[in-house]
Amino acid sequence: MKAVFLCTLLFSTLFAQQAHSAPNPVKGEALFKQCTSCHAIGEGAAHTVGPTLNHVFGRIAGKADGYTIYSDAMRAKGEDEELLWDEKSLYIFLAGPARYIPGTTMGFAGLRKEQELKDLLAYLINFSPAYEPESSTVVSADAIAATTLPVLKADDEEEAPTFDEDYLANAEAITSGGELWAKQCRHCHGNSAYPGKAPKLKPARYKPEFVFNRVTDGFRKMPAWKSVFTLDERKAIVAYVLSRQFSP
Ligand code: HEC
Ligand code: HEC
C-alpha cells in the first residue's frame, strides 16, 4: 500500500505539468490484459512466454531467476549496461519496446498514451512490494523474500456491502480505517494538502454507500482503490470518514 501511495506522489510530481488525472491502478489492471498472453503476475505466478513481472521494479533487465530464454539484446542491456527497471525505464520500454531495446523478442508494439502508461505502472508496482518507489536501487533477494505478493482474485465481482450502525460504530474498523486514511488519503484531502488537490470532505453530507463507491471506483481525479484495498479495508475507511474521530 505504501508503494501505491508513493507511486501516486511520484507521478503527480513527475508529470505535474501534463497530468490528466491520477494514475489509476484499476485501469492499469484492465490494460494489463494486453500482457497476460505472455506474462503472469501475482502470488504463485510462473514464467510463461515472458518472465513473470513480480518484483520487476528494482530488478536488472534480463535477470528474472529461472527465465532462460531472454534475447541477446535484453541480456546485454542488463549485463553490459546494467539497465535497472524503475519507473522511468519501464515507462520508456513499455512505450516502445523495440525502440528502446532493438532486438528484443517481446512482441508488443507499445502503449501510446501517457495516461495508460501511468495507469499500467501504478498497477504493476503493487507486485514489487520490496521496491522503494522512485529509489531506482536494485532490490536484494533477501528483501524480496521478506515480502508477500498480492493474490489475484479469480473474478472481481463483489457484492455491494451494507453498512449498519453497529459496523459504523465499530472501534476496530474506525482505527484501521484511520490508519489507511493517514497513508493514502491525507496527502490529497487532508488539511495540510496542497490547496486545490482535492476537495475537503464533508462527511455529514455523505451516505456510507457514496463514500464506499468513490473509494472503490474513483471519480474523475479521485483514484480508484479497488485493486489496492480489500473490501474490508474500504469498508473500514468508510467507517472512519463517517466517525467522530475523523480528522482530516
Ligand atoms: C507476445 C508476448 C508478450 C507480450 C504481449 C508482452 N510481453 Fe513483455 N516480454 C515478452 C518476452 C518474450 C520478454 C523477454 C524479451 C527479451 O528477452 O528480449 C518480455 C520482457 C518484458 C519485460 C522485461 C523483463 C525482465 O525480466 O527484464 C518487461 C518489464 C515486460 N516484458 C513487460 C510487459 C508488459 C507490461 C506488457 C503488456 C503491456 C508486456 N510485457 C507484453 C513477451 C511479451
Ligand atoms: C490523488 C489525490 C487523491 C487521493 C489520494 C484521494 N482522493 Fe478522494 N478525491 C480526489 C479528488 C480530486 C476528488 C474530487 C473528484 C471530483 O468530484 O471531481 C475526490 C473526491 C473524493 C470524495 C467525494 C467528495 C465529494 O464531496 O464529492 C470522497 C468521499 C473521497 N474523495 C474520499 C477519499 C478517500 C477515503 C481516499 C483515500 C482512500 C481518497 N479520497 C484519496 C483526490 C484524491
**Digit-coded pLDDT (tens) for 34-63:** 999 899 998 889 999 999 999 999 999 999
Report the separation in Å between the CA atom of 26 and the middle of ligand 2, taken as the mean of its atom positions. 15
Would you say residue 98 has pLDDT above 60? Answer: yes
- Angle CA(131)–CA(140)–CA(30) in degrees, nearest 5? 35
Q: State the Cα–Cα distance between residues 121 and 94, nearest whole angstrom.
A: 10
Atom number in ligand 1 closest to CA 49: 12
Would you say residue 77 has pLDDT above 70? Answer: yes
CB within 8 Å of 74: residues ≥ 6 apart: 61, 62, 101, 104, 105
Would you say residue 228 has pLDDT above 70? Answer: yes
Specify the residue with its C-alpha closest to ligand 1, atom 2.
38
- Angle CA(14)–CA(91)–CA(56) in degrees, nearest 5? 115
Q: Which ligand is nearest to the CA of 119?
A: 1
- Our mutation pick for probing the ligand 1 site, out of 38, 101, 112, counting the most ligand atoms within 8 A of Cβ, is 38
- Our mutation pick for probing the ligand 2 site, out of 214, 231, 232, counting the most ligand atoms within 8 A of Cβ, is 214
pLDDT for 153? 64
Would you say residue 155 has pLDDT above 90? Answer: no
Q: How far is CA 133 from CA 95, 118, 139, in A?
A: 20, 14, 11
Report the separation in Å between the CA atom of 161 and the middle of ligand 1, taken as the mean of its atom positions. 38
Q: Which ligand is nearest to the CA of 188?
A: 2
- The mean pLDDT value for 107-131 works out to 95
pLDDT for 225? 86
Question: Which tens digit of pLDDT belongs to each residue from 171-218?
Answer: 999 999 999 999 889 988 998 888 878 899 999 999 999 999 999 988
User: How sure is the predictor about 13, in pLDDT bands with cuts at 50, 70 and 90?
Assistant: very low
pLDDT for 154? 58
User: How sure is the predictor about 226, in pLDDT bands with cuts at 50, 70 and 90?
Assistant: confident
94 alpha carbon, distance to own chain's centre: 16
Report the separation in Å between the CA atom of 195 and the middle of ligand 1, taken as the mean of its atom positions. 40
pLDDT for 174? 98
pLDDT for 194? 81
pLDDT for 222? 80
Would you say residue 6 has pLDDT above 60? Answer: no
The rounded percent of the chain whose pLDDT value lies above 90 is 69
Would you say residue 158 has pLDDT above 80? Answer: no
Report the separation in Å between the CA atom of 186 and the middle of ligand 2, taken as the mean of its atom positions. 10
- The mean pLDDT value for 23-30 works out to 90
